Each structure stands twice: as structure tokens, then as C-alpha cells.
Structure 1
Amino acid sequence: MNAYELKDKLNEYYPFSIIDEIAKSGYVDNSGVICEGESDKILFTLDLTDNAINYALENSCRLIVTHHPAVFSPIRSVKGVVARAVKENIGVVSVHLPADYAPKGVDYYLAKSLGAENEKVLEVRANNLGYGREFSVPQTTLSDLAEKVYKNLSCVNLSVFGNSNCIRKVATFCGAGLDEESLALTDADAFVSADVKHHIILQIVSQGKCLIMPTHYATENYGFKKISQDMAKVLKEKIYYYEENTLL
């Protein structure tokens, strides 16, 4: 399988059409084929790093699928890990927003990691795509919910804000998605997201609500690993997964 064929296969489950729709609001997402390549072994990983490339080479993977775009913004020269991938004849395909917004993507799996059932998609887009999940839970405490997040996402680092013994509704946003607009979409008692700005934290706590904030990596690694497992069921190529444990 080559990089373009891999992108086409990913597009069946994680539609790249969301990129153009989100671009209308001014956000440019550089998902797609970053480097050409071909392989019968594919490595999935959140980021293109030297460690990920080392792992790919150790396992003879000449195709890497990253969640975060290996090239985020326009570049004048190819250098760093992208240059190394080219030198090693490793193809790279990035699937960022398509994986976040997919019906069974990164954001979906973040909610599922906390036991979500019949969850509501908060930011609804065309073609059954969306971001942010709201769901009810049996009444629980902040401490117990935080422990569940810590355990299920394999967290090493976790920040907790607020103090509540009566949590019945939770909203999750993978990555750095919890902002003023998303906050206004839900009346959840507790939120799970990463990289939340101070004024948003202040607003949540002042309303008597709670925030559980894992690292950006932890909120997305769980779901992207699930995606790799899902793709292993539909691709004939052998699938590997690499994670940076120090970022959890």
C-alpha cells in the first residue's frame, strides 16, 4: 500500500471533507499525505518524532500515520523529522481533524473511555461529523471521576479543578477544544479536556462546576490507539502503534 492509497482508505472512515468545512472559519488543517512511501507495515502514532521513526525502522514500517500534522504550517525547506522520514523512505500521512470529528474518532473514544452511552454530539457538522460529547453518568464525585480518567487514559500527569460531590453529566473535548463556544453548548457538571486557558478554568470553577485536565497527549492517545485497532480490522497490512509515555 502506498501513502495515497492509505489516505483514501482512511478517508472512508475519517472523512477529509471536514478540513474544507473547518477552513471556512479560518483554521487550516494540513492533514493528508506529507511524504510519499509504500509499505506492508504501518505505524500509527500521535506525532512524528525521532522516537516514532526509530520504532518504525525497528519494525520495518515504511508508512507512518500521525494524528497531528507532521507539517503544521507552510515551510520553506524540509528539515527535522520530516527530512529524516524522506531520507529513510518513510511515507507519512496525517489525519488530524478528520480523526477528531469522525463518528468513531478520537473525540468519540475519549467519551467512551469514561463509559459514555447515548452521548450527545455538541458541535454537529455535516455528514454525521461532530466534536465534543455530553453524556450522563451515575452520580459520582470529582475525586472518583478524576480517578477514572487517570486510570483509563493511563495518565502520568493530571490537573483537577473544582470540588463537587454531585456530578451527573460530563462533557469531553479531546485535545485543546474546550473554549468559550464549546462551554456554551452544554450544562455539564464536569468537563474533561486539555490545555484549557485560565479564564475558562476560572469560569468553570466560579459556576460550581469541575474540570479534569489531562495532558493534550493523554486526551488523544487513547482514541488514536483505538483507531489503529479499528484500521487493523480493515487493512491487510500489519499495524503497529507507538506512544510517547513521557507525554501522558
Structure 2
Amino acid sequence: MATVKDIYGAMDEWAPFETQMDFDNAGFLVGRGEAETDKILVALDITQEVVVEAQKLGCQLIVSHHPVIFHPVKALTDESVTGRTLLALAEAKIAAICCHTNLDAAQDGVNDCLAQALGLQEVAQLHPDGVDRAGRTYGIGRVGMCHQPGMSAADYAGRVKMLLGAAGVRYTDGGRPVHRVAVGGGACGSMLADAVAMGCDTFVTADVKYDQFLEARALGVTLLDAGHYATENVICDRVAQYLAKRFPQVSVLVSHRHKEACACV
């Protein structure tokens, strides 16, 4: 077995928690650090359904990407979604470790997984933010060359949808064939200027605002919104593989209950 603190330490080695953005709340958020675990569930989010799944599977710990506590909790009751989820964790004695923007920025983290899922080549960082305590450069976003340069915006949007299993892809056609692609898992539309500065003609991200689509089109950049879930869920298998290798005595599972929260018609 391993303790919850052991798992936290392993995640901290990969994606140091001190590299998280100021607004974030990544870390060891629920449970007892010395509690032992022989089974872990990995999920993008900790929802009530995921807690039930973990309980049925006999997991003592959930490792997620999005923090189960993001805003300050002033009351812990069953009268809010967050309260019900936290109560369910506590009552089931399931701990929670959440690795958010630190895992977005880390090498082999969310954005590297997204670039790999899309088959990008010659991958580099989109916006280096600093160097961690191990001397590794970290930062949000990646850039790379399209696996099949010269695709149209429509064809590339279809390929992105297929590769990520996205519910749908919203996009604006920048008017140029797809060659150099930037990716930003989750809501990274504000990094459009970074993509332009890196010579990208295409940018794949999520949660894109109307004005960002207009700006991209004016700049001649094909901007694709493949959805928050689809652009970040690529990290779950990687987390499970990492923890299984670090702790061979622990069973590490990926959630099958947590799915895309929205649908397209």
C-alpha cells in the first residue's frame, strides 16, 4: 500500500504544486494524509457520480484534474453541489488530490498529452512561465506541426473531433491551410496572441468567446473550440500510467462514469 501523502509527493515531483497559477486551488484537498490506499480512481472532475464510482470500486483516493474545492466553502451542508460532493467524500472516507494548472503547465502534462493526441510533431512550449525546482521549464500551451500539413480548416476540425472524441468542434476559418498548430487544454482563448507570436495559423483550445473568434478570423488564424472536457480528459490515462508505475502495489483505475457534460445536436 501507499499513503495519500505518498501519492501527493509523487504528483508533486511530476507537476510541482507551487507552479500552479495564483487563482488556482490545486493540492491535497480532502482526507487524511497518513491514510493508506491500495486503489486509486483518476478522473477529470470529482462529481457525486465519481465519488459513488470510487466507493463501489473500493478506492480510498481520487486523483482529479479540476479542484473539488475551487471557491471558499463557507458551509459544508447538502444544500449545495460542492457540499454534497464533499460530504460524500468524507462519509466514504475517500481522499482527494487535485492537480490543475500545475499539471497543465508541466512537461508531459495536459498540453503535451493534447499535442500528442492530435499527432503534432516538433512540439515546443507555447508560453514558458518559468523553471521549476528540478530545472524543468514549465508553461501553458504547446505548438507543433500538423501531421498532414495543408489540411483545410473544416477537414482539420473534423479530425480534431474524431481524435479527441469531442461532442463537437466550433471553429472559425482563418483562410489559411493548417500547418503550424497551437494547443491549449481548457479555456486558453486568451492565449491567441501567443499563438500568433509563435507563427501559428491554427489554435485548438476550448471555451472560446465570440470576440475571440472574431479576432482570430481577422488575424487569419483558424481557431477551434473542441470543448473543455475533450481537450483535458487526455491527461487521465497518463496520470493513471504514471501512478501505476510509481506504485506497482496500488491498483490505479480511470473513471468510466465521468463523461462529457454537454451534447451537440
| TM-score (norm. length: structure 1) | 0.91
Q: Does 1:212 pair with 2:207?
A: no
Report the CA distance between 1:176 and its aligned residue: 0.3
Q: 1:173 pairs with 184, 192, 216, which one? A: 184
Match for 1:77: what amino acid? A
Q: Mean Cα displacement is larger for which, 172-181 or 224-233? A: 224-233
**Cα distance change, pair 46–152 in 1 and its aligned pair in 2 (3 A):** same
8 Å Cα contact 1:43-1:239 kept in structure 2: yes
Q: 1:152 pairs with 163, 166, 169, which one? A: 163
Report the CA distance between 1:246 and its aligned residue: 3.4
User: 1:1-248 residue pairs with structure 2 within 5 A?
Assistant: 1-19=2-20, 22-23=21-22, 28-37=23-32, 38-78=36-76, 79-124=83-128, 125-127=130-132, 128-137=137-146, 138-162=149-173, 164=175, 166-179=177-190, 182-236=194-248, 237-243=250-256, 244-247=258-261
Supply the distance in 2 between the matched residues of 1:209 and 1:70 (Cα, whole angstroms): 35
Supply the distance in 2 between the matched residues of 1:122 and 1:170 (Cα, whole angstroms): 10
Report the CA distance between 1:155 and its aligned residue: 1.1
Report the CA distance between 1:46 and its aligned residue: 0.7
Report the CA distance between 1:165 and its aligned residue: 5.6
8 Å Cα contact 1:14-1:99 kept in structure 2: yes
Q: Mean Cα displacement is larger for which, 221-230 or 77-86? A: 221-230
Supply the distance in 1 between the matched residues of 2:175 and 2:243 (Cα, whole angstroms): 39
8 Å Cα contact 1:171-1:192 kept in structure 2: yes
Report the CA distance between 1:147 and its aligned residue: 2.0
Q: Gaps (5+ residues) in structure 2? A: 77-82
CA deviation map 1:47-88 (0-9, x unaligned): 110111111112101100110011002111222201110111
Supply the distance in 1 between the matched residues of 2:196 and 2:220 (Cα, whole angstroms): 15
Supply the distance in 2 between the matched residues of 1:45 and 1:187 (Cα, whole angstroms): 34
Supply the distance in 1 between the matched residues of 2:236 and 2:190 (Cα, whole angstroms): 22
Q: Mean Cα displacement is larger for which, 181-190 or 125-134? A: 181-190
**Cα distance change, pair 154–4 in 1 and its aligned pair in 2 (3 A):** same
Q: Mean Cα displacement is larger for which, 56-65 or 172-181? A: 172-181
8 Å Cα contact 1:114-1:152 kept in structure 2: yes
SS of 1:201's partner is helix
How many residues are treated as equivalent by the alignment? 242
Report the CA distance between 1:163 and its aligned residue: 5.5
Match for 2:251: what amino acid? K
SS of 2:233's partner is helix
Supply the distance in 1 between the matched residues of 2:74 and 2:139 (Cα, whole angstroms): 34
Q: Gaps (5+ residues) in structure 1? A: none
Report the aligned-residue RMSD: 1.8
- Deviating 4+ runs (over 3 angstroms): 180-185
SS of 1:123's partner is strand
8 Å Cα contact 2:26-2:101 kept in structure 1: yes
SS of 1:179's partner is helix
8 Å Cα contact 2:63-2:96 kept in structure 1: yes
Supply the distance in 2 between the matched residues of 1:77 and 1:199 (Cα, whole angstroms): 37
Match for 1:55: what amino acid? E
CA deviation map 1:177-220 (0-9, x unaligned): 12055345433111100011221111101223211111111110
